[in-house]
Structure 1
Amino acid sequence: MKSNDSFVLNFAPTGMVPKRKDSPHVPLSSDEIVEQVHAAVELGITVVHLHARDQDGEPSHDIDLYGEIIGKIRSFAPELVVCVSLSGRKRPDFESRSGPLTLVGDRKPDMGSLTLSSLNFSRQASMNAPEMVQGLAKAMLDRGIVPELEAFDSGMINYANYLIKKGLVEAPFYFNLLLGNPANAQADPLSFGAMLALLPEQSLWGVGGIGGTQAPSAMFGLASGGGVRMGLEDNLFYNADRSRLATNQELLQRVHVMAGLLGKRVMTPAEFRVAMKMAPGNGRYGRDLEKTAGQS
């Protein structure tokens, strides 16, 4: 599933790691996140990948926090595709990780992140046991929520194909290919090409780079006919020598400039919903939408 002129721009503004001491530009409170999403919508994005933070700036799976953020975003961007993080780096239990998937009505997320295997980051591990990955996939399937399939190397794409064969993930698919983590695929053509070769048919995909690999990874994605994941979640600096902190708006603007040079434009949320067979606020077409709406 490639478009000649449009691409998915997936905005990741916050993440789980950056703190105020690391950068004054990282949005932590609900209002800060919503404000920066609003600015991003005006510039042009397709998907927003959300991490909620508590009043102390710590990562949170609290469904009320997620509901507050999503509700405010829907008030000015009802068609924007909203993805919630289901990461287990801070809270490893299923109940916490799957909590945001239980939101209903206008606060129901369109997508949920699904990291496809355990991995080591530079300072901590992200544990994703097979039963956890499959449980989260089943929870999203049951609720008509599209998984954002996060792959850090080719092995994770192999596992996605395994989930597809088991019927836990349905076409069409959306993949985020994350490059540059020390323990996984690097931001080089060989590693990137190996991942692309394994993607199943009916896949939309974007590329994100960690740290200094963010800009080169964005170029890989755009030049190869895919999309881009961009934001302070993955990289705090504007330049390669790390001499200046970036803002989310600057990072997004740079992607727009790159895309313009290639004659590409950002795919609208409405176009993404059609490509992914999604309906506004209710997940995929074909689910029991009346039942879902009745729970709100």
Structure 2
Amino acid sequence: MGLNPSRDVFITCAVTGAGDTPGRSEKVPVTPRQIADASIEAANAGAAIVHIHVRNPETGKGARDAHLYEEVLNLIKRSGVDVVINFTAGMGGALTFGPAEQPMPLAAVGTDIAGATERLVHVKTLLPEICTLDCGTMNFGDENFVLANTPAMLKEMAAQVLEYGVKPEIEIFDTGHLLLAKWLHEQGLLSDPVMVQLCMGIRWCAPDDLTTLNALISRLPEDWTFSAFSIGRNQLPYTALALAAGGHIRVGLEDNLWLDKGVLATNGALVARAVVIAEAMGSRIMSAKDVRKKLNLQRRW
């Protein structure tokens, strides 16, 4: 992988995710107010984009209730902070099988399957500038959990997102997912310029070694914009790696709970550290306005 460092770089902050992280850090935002505050904190620290999941305020578990997204969005709007809103559309594809000798019926706990339109209700009604599109099916988490995104599902979701005028952020968790992304683009279902997130180091998916990262980057069309991140302790080192490879940065408590050894992070602290790394490498941090122009985003508020 040759050095081709980004001189203008944007930072995405994934502020909460849907995993069982609130039980491991009290700094993970759960309620709409906390998620909005975390997004505002990240934006003030230098993030141009905030990637937002919502959680059940009572249980802390990941949710896909459009009213929760609306509450978060309205709180961010009222703050006056300028940040690009990126909603997840990854919820609604969860399958939890039974044990190996009796995989069916699916387990009620951990299974959440919805159609394309239902998975995109919050995107259609609230029209964020960006929403994610997980470009493939994968083993995820424990040994019986599968995140299902079939080609037919992806095609329908991509068509709807295109109709809404929302930019899809294509989430690539493994090498074959890039083939699906190219297939969608060939059918005119992804708006240019295509925006890709390389999700590295997630268990059972693409490892975060340099060889695998280089394999993905070398197969990206030259006019596609990409970010790359890893999880856990490799999140912050990956900010430098992504930047050196010509990409953009993602940090946040969805992927990593630690700022330093023994020091729990906040979203703002992770973004601030990414800013230091990027500026030390000679890059300029892009604003939300810069990103809108670069990615041809449609802002509705």
Settle same-fold status: TM greater than 0.5: yes
Counterpart check, 1:142 vs 2:163: yes
1:94-243 aligned at under 5 Å gives the runs 94=115, 95-103=117-125, 107-123=126-142, 124-239=145-260, 243=262
The residue matched to 2:257 in structure 1 has which SS? coil
Across the aligned residues of Structure 1 and Structure 2, the Cα RMSD in angstroms comes to 1.8
Counterpart check, 1:62 vs 2:56: no
The Cα shift of 1:15 comes to 0.1
The Cα shift of 1:4 comes to 4.4
Query: What is the distance in 1 between the residues matched to 2:165 and 2:121?
Result: 15
CA-to-partner distance for each residue in 1:4-24, whole Å, 9 max, x for gaps? 421120110100003432110
The residue matched to 1:122 in structure 2 has which SS? coil
The Cα shift of 1:92 comes to 2.2
Query: What is the distance in 2 between the residues matched to 1:204 and 1:74?
Result: 27
One-letter amino acid of the structure 1 residue matched with residue 190 of structure 2: V
Task: Provide the residue aligned with 2:97 in structure 1.
Answer: none
CA-to-partner distance for each residue in 1:6-58, whole Å, 9 max, x for gaps? 11201101000034321100001000011111111111111111001122222
Query: What is the distance in 2 between the residues matched to 1:190 and 1:98?
Result: 35
Query: What is the distance in 2 between the residues matched to 1:153 and 1:8?
Result: 23
One-letter amino acid of the structure 2 residue matched with residue 16 of structure 1: A
CA-to-partner distance for each residue in 1:240-270, whole Å, 9 max, x for gaps? xx63322222211211111121011221111
Unaligned runs of 5+ in 2: 95-110
Alignment match of 1:248 (pick from 267, 270, 273): 267
Query: What is the distance in 2 between the residues matched to 1:70 and 1:174?
Result: 22
Alignment match of 2:50 (pick from 27, 48, 52): 48
Query: What is the distance in 2 between the residues matched to 1:69 and 1:50?
Result: 9
Q: Percent same amino acid at aligned positions?
A: 28
Counterpart check, 1:71 vs 2:92: no
The residue matched to 2:277 in structure 1 has which SS? helix
**Count of aligned residue pairs for this structure pair:** 276
The Cα shift of 1:229 comes to 0.9
Give the conservation status (yes or no) of the 8 Å contact 1:13–1:49: yes
Task: Provide the residue aligned with 2:17 in structure 1.
Answer: 15
Query: What is the distance in 1 between the residues matched to 2:71 and 2:223?
Result: 33
Task: Provide the residue aligned with 1:292 in structure 2.
Answer: none
1:71–1:181 Cα change, 3 Å:
same
| TM-score, normalisation: structure 1 | 0.87
1:262–1:3 Cα change, 3 Å:
closer
The residue matched to 1:278 in structure 2 has which SS? coil
The residue matched to 2:122 in structure 1 has which SS? helix
The Cα shift of 1:202 comes to 2.2
Task: Provide the residue aligned with 1:290 in structure 2.
Answer: none
Query: What is the distance in 2 between the residues matched to 1:186 and 1:77?
Result: 39
1:251-266 aligned at under 5 Å gives the runs 251-266=270-285
